[in-house]
Chains A and B, each alone.
Chain A
């Protein structure tokens, strides 16, 4: 990612929109009893397109904003989301995924990491009430719902971030595809 005020502004825009949508927009609406979670998807999208450092920074910033606006325990969300952003960014750097459906597993795994780690930290900070097993069901449904909405969410983030990206994984994938109409009639597919 190109470092600069423009790139920073774009990442900040994604973070603010994700948090506001989560708290006041479509987030509070429940589908099949659970609500979609835009925040881990936004962090994962930035990490997958911009790398591990940008992902961790986005996770920290988004978590900080979330804790500030929600009024929850400061530091919990930023701790978990920094780790999620870094992990997704490292996956991109090591495995270099470029498949068109890549956002689905990445979005689902990022959401899994977010809900499980957040629950673990909440338990460590001493939850003052009994916990129903239905929490587990809610977690699984949130992960499934986020997997469904991951494609449009990643596409939207990519559109915002694209001018600031050094390398776009999807552009690279398109360049890798063999041109279908090159060469004379008998040599189609030989990439001449």
Chain B
């Protein structure tokens, strides 16, 4: 069907494309964050940001229309679940109000300073999600706020009342947020109220089910308890997330006789599959000593 020249040219073209891809792959892993390919990525993201923002807004009505069908199907099951939660939360509210009153009185006694932000000393900057990563192997979103709005790398990001991730790349007008469901994410966390410490890691393919690892068997973790960021500072590793950001609720505890640690399953508060708006907890007006460090990534 083809003469040998055509066949050679065709194979050469494929070899060039594959070779270029492998070279890029190797170079990308070898270079630092300020390298050529990382800089190119930042430039491309900045260039495409207006196009992505426009497309996102233009097609939102279509997404909402299609989403309406799925939401209606999910609504019934969710309604039953929420009614049960309301019951539980009513009981907790009563306990919480009592505890709040106690805390207020105790604060007055020890004269603790209290900031206005959430968590203490942070200033939330609301941002719209303009792009989502297309595969389960990376879990990141792009938002329409950047360094011009006070966003910096490693700042925590929350969505719908729960931790969503942290800022990993910033351009002038956009930022990339690596979600806590990304394979490279690990967040130091604490189970409330007993304070058992562990690390929240994702399980790829199950964004609604995080794993709280490294909880020692002796510590009792029960279903329904809340998991928050611990914001710990150790000698070598530190958590970049401030203390007290809610992550999710314990949904299951696996007790394996062989394992040294318990495997605690956590259902995140934020719906990380469908987030349209997030808040970046910027550190404006925050004392530097309150900013903690980072645990991978």
Asked whether any CB of chain B lies closer than 8 Å to the CB of A107, the reply is no
Let me know if B132 and A79 touch, CB within 8 A.
no
CB-CB under 8 A from A67, the residues of chain B are 24, 41
A136–B205 Cα gap in the complex (Å)?
8
A1–B1 Cα gap in the complex (Å)?
17
CB-CB under 8 A from A128, the residues of chain B are 183-184, 296
Give the Cβ gap from B70 to chain A, nearest Cβ, in Å: 7
Let me know if B41 and A30 touch, CB within 8 A.
no
Let me know if B1 and A78 touch, CB within 8 A.
no
Interface of A is mostly: helix
B205 touches which of A20, A32, A132 (Cβ 8 Å): A132
Let me know if B45 and A66 touch, CB within 8 A.
no
A20–B57 Cα gap in the complex (Å)?
12
Asked whether any CB of chain A lies closer than 8 Å to the CB of B138, the reply is yes
**Docked complex: B219-256 residues within 8 A CB-CB of A:** none
B201 closest partner in A (C-beta): A129
Let me know if B134 and A20 touch, CB within 8 A.
no
B52 closest partner in A (C-beta): A24
CB-CB under 8 A from B168, the residues of chain A are 71
A65–B48 Cα gap in the complex (Å)?
10
CB-CB under 8 A from B1, the residues of chain A are 93-94
A134–B273 Cα gap in the complex (Å)?
14
Asked whether any CB of chain A lies closer than 8 Å to the CB of B169, the reply is yes
CB-CB under 8 A from B138, the residues of chain A are 70, 72
A76 closest partner in B (C-beta): B25
CB-CB under 8 A from A137, the residues of chain B are 205
B65 closest partner in A (C-beta): A29
Let me know if B133 and A72 touch, CB within 8 A.
yes
| Stretch from B13-21, B102-110, B149-157, B284-292 that touches the partner | B13-21
Asked whether any CB of chain A lies closer than 8 Å to the CB of B123, the reply is no
Interface size on A, residues (CB 8 A): 59
B9 closest partner in A (C-beta): A53
Q: Bits for B10-36, please: 1 = Cβ < 8 Å to A, else 0.
A: 100110011011111111110000000
Let me know if B131 and A24 touch, CB within 8 A.
yes
- Interface, chain B (partner A; CB < 8 A): 1-2, 9-10, 13-14, 17-18, 20-29, 37, 40-41, 44-45, 48, 51-53, 55-56, 58-59, 62-63, 66-67, 70, 130-138, 140, 142, 168-169, 176, 182-185, 201-206, 209, 211, 273-274, 296
5 residue pairs bridging A and B, Cβ less than 8 Å apart: A26-B59, A31-B66, A71-B176, A75-B22, A129-B182
Q: A20-B48, A30-B273, A71-B142 are in contact. List 15 more A-B contacts (CB 8 A).
A: A21-B55, A28-B274, A53-B10, A60-B20, A67-B24, A68-B40, A69-B48, A74-B40, A75-B28, A79-B21, A86-B17, A129-B183, A132-B204, A135-B205, A138-B205
4 closest residue pairs by CB, A with B? A75-B25, A135-B205, A75-B24, A79-B21
